[in-house]
Chains A and B, each alone.
Chain A
Amino acid sequence: MKKRVWLKILIPVLITVLILLFVQQLLMPKYMTETKEGAMISEYYEKDNHGNNDVVFVGDCEVYENFSPVTLWNEYGITSYIRGSAQQLIWQTYYLMEETFKYENPKVMVFNVLEMIYDTPESTGDSEKREAYNRMTLDGMKWSKEKWNSIAASMTKQEKETDGYWSYIFPILRYHERWSEVGAEDFRYLFHRDAVTDNGYLMQVKVNPVLGEFNKRPLVDYSFGENSWKYLDMIKDLCKEHGTQLVLVKAPSLSPVWYDEWETQIEEYAAKNDLLYINFLEKQEEIGIDWNQDTYDRGLHLNVYGAEKLSIYFGQILKEECGIEDHRSDTELSALWTNKTKAYEARKEQLLLEYQEELDSEQ
């Protein structure tokens, strides 16, 4: 008798939970055709994407749009992955790095120092936009201590005052009003996702030349904030703890502008901590970047042609200065990366086709 009563309660509860989970899955944005940046973080968990990377880049668009792991493989036999997301902040990078060490132990971790300019979630400006960026990094992470800590470090004041943690635990709280926007993509990708990147690299094939020099508007204070320094120290210590070399880079993106005062602080930090730091802005000529051809958005990010040039340049450094091995003689890895290269070439071809159609339609 008691058992039947329990069943009467349990079955409806279970069915309700399942329905709510289904609705939540349906309502969450899929990021497959637009705003692909939102789909990138979760791709790392696919079995072919982790476990054997010698180099892991972690950071914002200055890594995921400027470096091509497939080029690093084809030119140097270097295995790498980019754990990137839009406007990723330094504490998010730290927790992604911490999580990465659960999946593999790369020889090199690459951190792009532009992230140092944001000291708090509020320092990035508009909090609604910040929350949207937070979502693109945090929703894609698997549940773990690192995700929880990253949420705690990332939430804006507004988020804390409203749903707080709950909307990350139950994303339906965040996305429930998307019901009116639900479309074919939401059903198509209800239970699976296509890869939007090539080992974390978000390919762009368009060409939009630089228009002119970006203005270096004077700042009141050029010092990086305490919180940024704290997390950079944590990143350094984390890498040291795992025997991983931390390499600091400044991608060659022309905007946001990189101030000399910022450069000095990073150079001093790198020297003090015996870290390799490469400012690619100073190496543009050696890399061979042509700002009339190698950018898709007027100098903020490289397109695939620029990213391949930069990767060829950086690969040499990874090989010579960091001692990263050539794995092309490893048959298993070679087979894996042959498939990755095929996917990369197919994506490039498809994007070029779409770009050509776009250009044709404009004429």
Chain B
Amino acid sequence: MSKRILALVLGVIMVCGLALAGCGGSSDNAGNDQAADGGAASSNAEEYKFTYNGTEIAMKAPVAPILEALGEAKSYNEETSCAFEGLDKSYFYGSFYLYTYPQGDEDFVNMVELVDDTVKTEEGISIGDSKEKVEEAYGADSYNGINAYVASAGEMTLTIIMDNDKVSSIQYAAVFE
């Protein structure tokens, strides 16, 4: 009798174990999870990239070689995220900000914001440019109907914010799902 019960218990546990092993869902300690997709698919040719003095900055690209090529930043800031390890960092290079996110032991490009007209996108758009020039570069379809042109490609978005029909901000941002 007792052996039968034991066999039955073990049988049920095995079935449950197999079911659990096969089921979906995230696996880690919730508190130790980190951002997904870190460092993945950063060199997709379809994605918009910012290039500064020959250094290509693609979203979700490992940032260490980029920082080395860019040289010393004019200012640096960092932020922790509640409960998670690692720092979100920002580097200011005078004409643009470079933001990073941590993944494992490495940092990756999260965002680039252009802040003056000494730099431009690969499509030739810089701060102060006209609406017509932006539409020529990214198409009128990319207008959000309010105040910005938003061009998405792969795992990134390029946002060009307009103020009085002039470009006031250009932002490349990684997209996370």
Contact = CB atoms under 8 A, between A and B. Distances in A.
Interface string A158-176: 1000110001000011111
Contact of A126 (B36, B97, B111, B169): B36
B77 A214 contact: yes
Interface residues of A, number: 53
B176 A212 contact: no
Contacts of A298: 77-80
A16 B10 CA distance: 8
23 contacts: A11-B5, A16-B9, A31-B31, A87-B81, A126-B37, A126-B176, A128-B34, A129-B81, A132-B33, A135-B30, A139-B30, A163-B23, A176-B20, A177-B28, A211-B75, A214-B79, A215-B77, A215-B90, A218-B161, A220-B144, A220-B159, A298-B79, A300-B79
Contacts of B12: 12-13, 16
Contacts of A15: 5, 9
Contact of A129 (B1, B4, B33): B33
Contact of A136 (B1, B30, B78): B30
A212 B75 contact: yes
A270 B113 CA distance: 33
10 closest A-B pairs (Cβ-Cβ)?
A35-B31, A177-B27, A135-B30, A86-B83, A126-B176, A86-B82, A12-B8, A132-B30, A37-B83, A132-B33
Contact of A127 (B31, B36, B90): B36
Contacts, number: 150
Given A12-B8, A162-B25, A174-B30, 6 more contacts: A16-B16, A132-B31, A175-B27, A176-B21, A211-B76, A297-B79
Interface string A101-124: 000000000000000000000000
B29 to A, nearest CB: 4
B83 A173 contact: no
Interface string B123-136: 00000000000000
B51 interface: no
B82 A220 contact: no
Contacts of A211: 75-78
A30 to B, nearest CB: 9
Contacts of A125: 176
B82 to A, nearest CB: 4
B170 to A, nearest CB: 10
B20 A35 contact: no
Nearest to A64: B82
B146 interface: yes
A200 interface: no
Nearest to B21: A176
A126 B148 CA distance: 23
B26 A128 contact: yes
A20 B82 CA distance: 32
Given A12-B9, A60-B82, A218-B168, A126 B35 contact: yes
A151 B52 CA distance: 45
Interface in B76-134: 76-84, 90, 92, 97, 111, 113
A16 B17 CA distance: 11
B71 interface: no
Contacts of A87: 81-83
A127 B83 contact: no
B176 to A, nearest CB: 4
Nearest to B4: A8
A178 interface: yes
Interface in A59-74: 60-61
Contacts of A11: 5
Contacts of A176: 20-21, 23, 27
Contact of A172 (B20, B34, B78, B81): B20
A306 interface: no
Contacts of B82: 37, 60-61, 86-87, 133
Contacts of A86: 82-83
A34 interface: yes
B164 interface: no
A300 B90 CA distance: 14
Interface in B51-88: 75-84
